[in-house]
Chains A and B, each alone.
Chain A
Amino acid sequence: MKNLCYILLILLLAAAAFAAGQDQTDEPDEIQAADQAPPADPNDPNNILLEKYDVVIKDPNDPNEILWAKWNAVVRVLQSKDMEKKVKESLIDRIVTPIFDFPLMAKLVLGRKHWPNFSPPQREKFTKLFTRKLKDSYREKISHYTDEKASVKPLRKKNTTVIIPMNLISQGKEIAIIYKLRKIGKTWKIYDVEIQGVSILLTYRSQFDDVLAGSSVEDLLERLEKPAAP
């Protein structure tokens, strides 16, 4: 089980790495920039590293390729032995961030039940905090990577989305991962990942449901601001 989580997160990173070089803007503070990749400074050693490890996607219309390329990029970072943990984390963050549709994830995680109860500033704040939370969560677990082998299966189309199943072999056990992607502009972005049938989005939705059942929107935001938030 422990491994499942780590693998999932590694996959998230790998998949997200696809859009590392795209659509980057300034980030005035950490929270605000949470759903975006860090700025690209050509003199920044991290950017040099990014160029070394990240890949160029030949066909951004092919979600399978996106996933596979990002996966390989993240695995390469993780396998490099002469890199500090912090550098690795930062690098992976930049590789994967662009391929996640964090605003949609934030919206769906609250669902139509709670989203209308959030004022526009609250929605904005929530999106940032939630994005940070997702990132914190995988950052914390990334160091547990071992040498899992992955294989991507043929994708399935469903309305405007695609579903890409992936199989991981971890210590002889097969683990089923499903990526759910939606096309935004010219590229595909992940809005949910299922691991062994458990959706990350729904896990958080249910958690926030519980909190909002007994507390206010502000309470939830306050709790998310704390490092040990649910």
Chain B
Amino acid sequence: MTEHRSLTYSFFDRVILRYPVIVVLAMIAIVGFLAFKARGFRLDASAETLVLENDEDLRYARQISARYEQSDFLVLTYTPDSDLFSEKDLAVLERLQKDLEALESVASVASILNVPLLQSPPLSLKDLTAELPTLNSPKTDRTLARTELRDSPLYKNLLLSADSKTTALLVNFARDDRYMTLLYRRNELRQKKADGLLNKSEKAEFESVVREFRDYRDRARRRRHQDITAIRTIADKYRADADLFLGGVSMIADDMITFVKKDLKVFGIGVMVFLVLMLGIIFRSVRWICLPMLCCLVSAISMIGLLGWFGWEVTVISSNFISLQLIMTLAIAIHLIVRYRELLSRNPDAPNRDLILDTVRSKMKPCVYAVLTTIAGFGSLLLSGILPVSTFGWMMIAGLIVSLIVTFLLFPTLLILIPKQAPKRTHESGSQITEALAVFTRNHGTLIIIVSILALAASITGICRLDVENCFIDYFKKSTEIYKGMSLVDRKLGGTTPLDVIITFDEPNASAAAKETAPPEKDDEFSEFEEFGDDLDTAASEDKYWFTAEKMRRVKIAHEYLDGLPETGKVLSLQTMLRIAQELKGEKPLDSLELALLYNETPDEFKTMLTKPYVSVENNQVRFWVRIVDSDKSLRRNQLIEKIKAELPVVVDTDPKNVRLTGMFVLYNNMLQSLYKSQILTLGLTVLALSIMFLVLFGSLRIALIAMFANLLPIGMVLGVMGWLGISLDMMTMTIAAIGVGIAVDDTIHYIHRFKKEFKADRIYLSTMHRCHSSIGHAMYYTSATIIIGFSILALSNFIPSVLFGLLTGLAMLMALLAALTLLPKLLILIKPFGKENP
């Protein structure tokens, strides 16, 4: 340790403080280089980043999406003030549809205007060959059409709401095969690389595919963003006489990134302004505003540059990393300022260089400890195995190291370059408050312990109430268009998040048991099979024979089961199409022969349209396309998935392995569950790691336990408050535990470190506490006050995760501060871990 201290001391003494100009110039050069590299910085909030990269379900989902040729779509709702089916409104709707169809990326737009009508007037199956009538066809009976669109198993709640007031235009985008080709190649090579099987040419190919994919994906995302903007612009033209809302999964992803970016800009500046104001109020000196802000700025630029350089992408999960880095940098800077000012006021005549050196020397150790323990806190993110989450973990670790280096280099060098400022006594509210807390701790120690235990109990109860749900609609305030759109689509037009239910039928096979009991065959028994068998066997494999009454019976049961679940909105499947066919036939269910004839007789184009999305004869499976009502507050996503997985095989009488759930709904849920496991369940591991670190740092089990308890309380309280307020753990709030640990350990470490040092002066716990509260306590208070108030501005955001981040981070800081300035000293006084007091 001595060697370490002397090394630090001599490094700052002989290098940093001796050649401050060179250090500053070198830093400018490095930061300039990193700023240049920041061009590669990417913010990625695509749906892809919200799912697990190596998830088996993701691979399956992509396979299914390709098999059934699914493409991305958006839903634009249209609710005119007058009657939707009036000539005037239909004409407006037609113009709107044409405007949408004119967009380059739009492959097709399905609406009540262009879908085929089969009952208005009723058609027979043989009429399907002719061009099918639509709402605007001369022969169409509008009254019948209105009823058909409202009641048809296909169009009901998909294109027209039950009250016939709202209609939806389904805007289908062209399928992006290039994206998938690149993605598959990249993943294939990535896997090979992981297995160490990459040869030289493949290595080069991997690098180029990674680059190409990223560029292509960015372009595709920009294009989709432009499409969404263009659709909104078109919609705006029609708002005079109607309400229009946009919904759909890709819009959620796009809006999320828009909100995150907007928050970064608007609130980034807002937070900066608030931080400056707070620093001004606390220190009343330009240098103490500029220095920490400069440290924050340089750290942030360096980090963004590093991210661009390493190709780490910021996702919605890691979107708070800049804010967190500001917090960490500011904390270090404020601790340095407070220490410097403390030394200055004690020795006003000491040379500036000595003061700086002393500041750095005394603060280096606790700051390094704090950074190390915070790294341990964020270490839980690395264990997740989820790419965007572990990237977030690496970002925070790199960010902390960058903040530590930048602040410890920039602060002393800049401070030595500017002349020493005479100490001035400012009106420091901090001293009053920390003093008051010291007095309170002295007088009401027992109360603190009781309240802490009660708070811990309340937190645990709160934590038990926590639920793990990711409701995208809850990410947005009720006043936002996205919220209104999503809730309208959810309530009236079939739900939002797609869930694919895939049922694979058993391959017909001869049962082994039956074979054993079968008597040996005489030769002539098989002669007829020899005679007819081959021809029949070949013909039997034709698609038309696949559609048997037995399969359709199961499809019907499964469809009705899924449709009957309160959580599901629109369910489309082969059953929907069969019901339409049956309505045309006007009789009881089709038998196998009729099904085969129907399949054979239906024109190819119509057949593809009706069956392709729902049947893969080749794979002997059917697909149910379900949309989930996401805004339903009672929706328990994981439970729903588990329920369907358990019940559906029983309902359709098949092996559970034949039923698979996939689609965005499942992928988001997988991500959330993994995140939950990695975050909350590894919290125990983090606590253990931190305890060991405390043990190593302070060399005492008792101190380690005290520190841990003082840390657990604020983290527990943040999670407990979330539980009590009904704030779910979702993709955005899940990382709050790690953030809480990171914030809480700072205060604990600084306080204990100082306490240990101050205790040596008189070996009296009570007076040590008073000295700590009026020295390190100030730094802790200033840091917390600056950050709490600085980030409180996020409460004004329209993006709920930003609001929650701002408020919960503030809460974590407040709790950490209170615990560190009341509970922690009380425990130190009570347990006396530093040895006996002087009499």
Centre residue among B509, B532, B654 by max chain A CB count within 10 A: B532
> At the interface with chain B, which of A30-38, A39-47, A66-74, A196-204?
A196-204
Q: Report how far A107 CA is from B536 CA in the complex, Å.
A: 12
Contact flags (1/0) for A143-161 with B, using CB distance below 8 Å? 0000000000000000111
For the complex, is A79 an interface residue (Cβ under 8 Å from B)?
no
Compute how far the CA of A159 lies from the CA of B527 in the bound complex, rounded to whole angstroms: 14
B510:A137 contact, CB within 8 angstroms: no
Q: Evaluate contact between A111 and B529: CB separation under 8 angstroms.
A: yes
Instruction: Kindly list chain A residues whose C-beta atoms are within 8 Å of the C-beta of B548.
Output: 203, 206-207, 209-210, 230
Binary per-residue interface labels of chain A (125-142) against chain B in the complex, 1 for a CB within 8 Å, 0 otherwise: 000000000000100000
Q: B545-558: contact bitstring with A at CB < 8 Å (1 yes, 0 no)? A: 11011110100000
B167 to A: closest C-beta gap in Å:
32
The reply to whether A203 and B545 form a contact with Cβ atoms under 8 Å apart is yes
| Contact B518 A119, beta carbon cutoff 8 Å | yes
- Which among B210-218, B481-489, B595-603 touches the partner chain? B595-603
Among the stretches B176-184, B469-477, B500-508, the one at the interface with A is: B500-508
Is B653's beta carbon under 8 Å from chain A?
Answer: yes
A18 and B59 CA atoms in complex are apart in Å by 60
Instruction: Check A205 against B653 for contact (C-beta < 8 Å).
Output: no
Nearest CB in chain B to that of A217: its residue: B514
Inter-chain contacts of A200 with B (CB < 8 A)? 593
Q: What residues on B are CB-neighbors of A195 within 8 Å?
A: 593, 597
Q: Are A196 and B601 in contact (CB under 8 A)?
A: yes
Residues in B neighbouring A2, C-beta threshold 8 A: 125, 585, 587
Q: Are A213 and B592 in contact (CB under 8 A)?
A: no
Residues of B within 8 A of A111 (CB): 529, 533, 536-537, 540
Contact A207 B549, beta carbon cutoff 8 Å: yes
- Chain A, interface SS category: helix
> In the complex, what residues of B have CB within 8 A of residue A204's CB?
592
- Enumerate A56-114 residues with CB–CB distance to B below 8 Å: 104, 107-108, 111-114
Known: A160-B531, A202-B540, A230-B549. A114 touches B126 (CB 8 A): no
Contact of A214 among B531, B544, B587, B653 (CB under 8 A): B653
Cβ of A216 under 8 Å from chain B: yes
Residues of chain B lying within 8 A (CB to CB) of residue A216: 511, 514
| B199 part of interface (Cβ distance < 8 Å) | no
Q: Are B546 and A206 in contact (CB under 8 A)?
A: yes
Q: How far is the CA of A49 from the CA of B373 in the complex (A)?
A: 102
Say whether B517 faces chain A, with CB atoms less than 8 Å apart. Answer: yes
Check A137 against B591 for contact (C-beta < 8 Å). yes
Q: Known contacts A202-B540, A202-B545: does B528 contact A107 (CB below 8 Å)?
A: yes
Smallest CB–CB gap between B247 and chain A, Å? 38
Mask, A210-230, CB within 8 Å of B = 1, is: 111110110000000000001
Cross-chain contact A116 with B515 (CB below 8 angstroms):
yes
Rounded to whole Å, the gap between the CB of A34 and the closest CB of chain B is 19
Decide if A120 is an interface residue (CB 8 Å cutoff).
Answer: yes
Contact pick for A116, options B505, B518, B528, B532, CB 8 Å? B518
Please name the residue on chain B nearest to A115 by beta carbon: B529
Q: Are B510 and A205 in contact (CB under 8 A)?
A: no
Find the B residue at minimum CB distance from A213: B506
A119 and B593 in contact, given A196-B601, A213-B506 (Cβ under 8 angstroms)? no
| Cβ distance B471 to chain A, nearest Cβ, rounded Å | 38
Summed over the interface, the residue pairs from A and B with CB atoms below 8 Å come to a total of 126
Is the pair B529, A196 in contact by a Cβ cutoff of 8 Å?
no
Residues of A within 8 A of B87 (CB): none
Q: Does B521 contact A (CB under 8 A)?
A: yes
Q: Residue A55 at the B interface, CB < 8 A?
A: no
* Chain A residues with CB under 8 A of B517: 119
A173 within 8 A of B: yes
B514 contact set on A, CB distance < 8 A: 117-118, 216-217
CB–CB A4/B536 < 8 A: no
B539 interfacial by beta-carbon distance below 8 Å: yes
* Complex contacts, B536 vs chain A, CB 8 Å: 108, 111, 199, 201-202, 205
A192 to chain B, nearest CB (A): 8
Do A196 and B510 touch (CB < 8 A)? Answer: no
Q: Enumerate chain A residues within 8 angstroms of B419, measured Cβ to Cβ.
A: none
Q: A2's closest neighbor in chain B, by CB?
A: B585
CB distance from B516 to the nearest CB of A (A): 10
Structural contact, A214 and B654, CB atoms closer than 8 A: yes
Interface residues of B in 619-661 (CB under 8 A from A): 653-654
B519 on interface, CB distance cutoff 8 Å:
yes
Closest to A205 in B: B540
Complex-state Cα separation, A211 to B654, whole angstroms: 11
A169 an interface residue at 8 Å Cβ cutoff? Answer: no
B594 at the A interface (CB under 8 A): yes
Given contacts A117-B514, A203-B548, A206-B548, contact A112 B533 (CB under 8 A): yes
Chain B: minimal CB distance from A139 (Å) = 14
| CB-CB under 8 A for A1 and B594, given A117-B518, A205-B536, A214-B654 | yes
Residue of A nearest to B517 (CB): A119
Q: How far is the CB of B699 from chain A (nearest CB, A)?
A: 68
Q: With an 8 A cutoff between CB atoms, is A5 at the interface?
A: yes
Given the complex of chains A and B, what is the CA–CA distance between A203 and B537 in angstroms?
12
The CA-CA distance from A2 to B601 in the complex, in Å, is: 11
Instruction: Give CA–CA (A47, B582) in the complex, Å.
Output: 40
Collect the chain A residues with CB atoms within 8 Å of residue B600's CB.
Answer: 196-198
Q: How far is the CA of A120 from the CA of B517 in the complex (A)?
A: 11
Once bound together, how far apart are the Cα atoms of A205 and B550, in whole Å? 12
Contact indicator per residue, chain B 572-587, by CB within 8 Å of chain A (1) or not (0): 0000000000000101
Is the Cβ of B593 less than 8 Å from the Cβ of A198? yes
User: What 1/0 mask marks residues of chain B from 791 to 831 whose CB sits below 8 Å from any chain A CB?
Assistant: 00000000000000000000000000000000000000000
**Would A116 and B508 be within 8 Å (CB), given that A198-B544, A203-B548 are in contact?**
no
Is A1 within 8 A of B550, CB to CB? no
Contacts of A120 in B (CB 8 A): 519
A191 surroundings in chain B (CB, below 8 A): 532
A133 to chain B, nearest CB (A): 10
| CB neighbours of A214 from chain B (8 A) | 506, 653-654
From A112, A159, A213, A217, B526 is in contact (CB under 8 Å) with A112
Q: Across the interface, which residues of B come within 8 angstroms of A202, CB to CB? A: 536, 539-540, 542, 545
User: What is the chain A residue whose CB lies nearest that of B506?
Assistant: A213
B832: min CB distance to chain A, Å: 73
Which of B514, B515, B531, B601 gathers the greatest number of chain A CB atoms within 10 Å? B514
**A187 CB, min distance to chain B CBs, angstroms:** 18
Contact of B598 with A207 in the complex, beta carbons under 8 Å: no
How many Å from the CB of A121 to the closest CB on chain B? 11
CA distance A104 to B536 in the complex (A): 13
- Which residues of A are found within 8 Å of B593, using beta-carbon distances? 5, 195, 198, 200, 203
Within 8 A of A (CB), among B387-413: none
Q: Is there contact, CB below 8 Å, between B592 and A207?
A: yes
Query: Are A1 and B125 in touch, CB under 8 angstroms?
Result: yes
Q: In the complex, what residues of A have CB within 8 A of residue B526's CB?
A: 112
Where the two chains meet, the residues of A that have a C-beta atom closer than 8 Å to any C-beta of B are 1-2, 4-5, 104, 107-108, 111-120, 137, 159-161, 173, 191, 195-207, 209-214, 216-217, 230
In the complex, 6 of the A-B residue pairs with CB atoms within 8 angstroms, ordered by the A residue number, are A1-B598, A159-B531, A173-B126, A196-B597, A198-B596, A217-B514
Q: A111-B536, A118-B518, A203-B548 are in contact. List 9 more A-B contacts (CB 8 A).
A: A1-B598, A104-B528, A196-B600, A198-B545, A202-B545, A205-B545, A206-B546, A210-B508, A213-B506
Q: Which residues of B contact A (CB under 8 A)?
A: 124-126, 505-511, 514-515, 517-519, 521, 526, 528-529, 531-533, 536-537, 539-540, 542, 544-546, 548-551, 553, 585, 587, 591-594, 596-598, 600-601, 653-654
Closest 7 CB pairs of A and B: A117-B514, A213-B506, A209-B508, A210-B550, A206-B545, A207-B548, A112-B529
